[in-house]
Structure 1
Amino acid sequence: MGSRPGYVMIRVLVVAALAGLALAPGQGASADTDEDGQKLFTFKDSRITESSGLAVSPTHKDIYYTHNDSSDGPVFFAVGPDGRTRARFTLQGAVARDWEAMAATKDPKTGQGVLWFADIGDNFDGAWPDVSVYRVPEPATLRDAVVPATRYRFKYEDGGHNAEGLMVHPRTGRLYVVSKEFSGSVYEAPKRLRTDRTNVLRKVGFAPIMATDAAYAPDGSSFVIRTYFSATVYRAPGDQIARVSMPQLEQAESIAYTLDGKALLTGTEGKNSPVYRVPLPDSVLRETAPYPTPTPTDETKKGTGKGGATTLVADAREDSGADAGVPGSAVALWLAAAAGATGLITFIARRTR
């Protein structure tokens, strides 16, 4: 198909065009940003030019973490509520091939914060033999420093993928990667990660079209996947709760939950880029609230657990294939653009033989 660099360049242009479709009015993003969220702050640091990952500190009050895309080294920033950088940290012995996402959790045994950085971008859709995720103890002091990092290598069970979403279950510590594709997927890491071998990521569900980030709720009750269009909240892979409208952003790249789990934070790339706070609808909060444990009756005493109580469990939802996280009209536009893009790539490939 002609020279690979030329093909990749056209592919990048096509993705950019599709991203533009995602921002069209009426396709899941409001033309008025204040309608769907409140601007929390703007990054003031001139070194933050491509904020690609976002997380809330689990131990430092009003501290947010971010990192750049592939234009930077293995570094991340701690930012205050005014958007000013409090500290810049460098991961010891790490590389930054294409950092695309991060997550923050708290060790349930020690209470210490843990940061995760995902070097999972692959614009060639499988050119890299493996991808990496780094585990970093959250710094106790907010001042510039070099911090230790543990590297875990991964490969997908079904071949290489481009991915921009990383989420870690806050209770189990299980890691998940969400691929960024027209037919995206959620991949689950092994329960126990190994540093002496490559860990295998196994597909456990489908993801919306072109997912750019993902995050678990602080209580582990649900997770959210961000796309160029909107954000979709799930109870489990394939078990969609609701789609949440997002502010119109130039290039929607990141998403995270607030510590209380009642709102989402979302950001974009670019210098002086903003971070918005989007409250979750009451309907979503009700769906993800803990289910009550009712007083047992004569009918429920049989087969109950200790003490005779029966915990209600959510009914499994039928996977109708409608959890794409985007309106049907938007999908049609994407497919039309993709068809046109295929023709364009074929034409250029023939001309460059």
Structure 2
Amino acid sequence: MDRNINKKVIYIFSMLNIVTQISGVQIYQAPSRVVAKLGETLNIRYGLSKINGIQLERLYSDVNQLIYKTPNFTDYYKNRWQVTPSGESSTYLFTVNNVKKIDGFIINATVTDDNSADSKTTAIALYDSDLRIVKYPLTVQVEDEKFDFICEFNLWGSSSINFEVMMKDRQISSFSTITYTDGLITLNSSIIATWDMNNEAFYCQLKLYKDGNDNFLLFKSKNPVKIKVEYKVRDINIAKDIKKDELICSAIGNPIPKYEWRMKNGTIVSTDSKLVIKDEWQGKNDYECTAWNIVKEKRNTLTKTVSYSKSTSGSSKTNEINLVIFYLIILLSVISV
């Protein structure tokens, strides 16, 4: 039985040795995207399953351009590109100092041996300058009408981005197009003006993704701009101040709303936001507030009605005083007799 066990162990080790010999080299570490600023340093790391040479090519639509094949760079790249180590290895670090616009492209890394071949692509994106707002409305906009908001950013190479217009740290819903032209990326957004945009700060935001969707550089335009929006009156409300016998009407809008108070019969009794209940309006009455403004020569109105009972405490005290005076007069008359 011991001999059979030894045979099985020898067989297993033999098979493992065969599998090890047959298995080819693989690239297990390679960034899908790398990002760098013009003039700075770009690093690209590769990890192989075993010691082996590596080849880098710049990808074109039809023809690939050789960059490096262990141990040498081609003449076009050898002055600015470097690699560590210089010979065959299981890890490679490619470095580009003082990166230039021409370095923005897609690299195809390839490893081969007698048994197999493997390859990975890496997209290089290069950026420069700040995110800029180049067009926004300088005049007052009107609710429900469209306006343009345009931002620009300098970007070269192959990139993955998220470009959007922001307000209060939230994305503004819009119809947007993104165009690339010779190192310039432009976001052109058509936005529908809404009431809550009035006097709010707008800015652009760009996420430039590196390796993975959760790894990115975030850019924001430095100087947010405020948008003015005219909108019709909304959100009317009436508050009661019982101590002062007052009703306060409020609403929002741009232009700022004006007010009209009416009695039940339609008579306007005040054109102020505050209505002071008069003494002659005793008992329970209905009071109607109309808030209004004018947008694009059109009068917009909102109306709300409230019931209110005038306090009678003041008149009761007056009656009590009058009654006391009456009894005092009678008392004085009796005494004088």
Asked whether the two chains share a fold, i.e. TM above 0.5, the reply is no
TM-score by length of 2: 0.19
Structure with the bigger percentage of strand: 2
TM-score by length of 1: 0.18
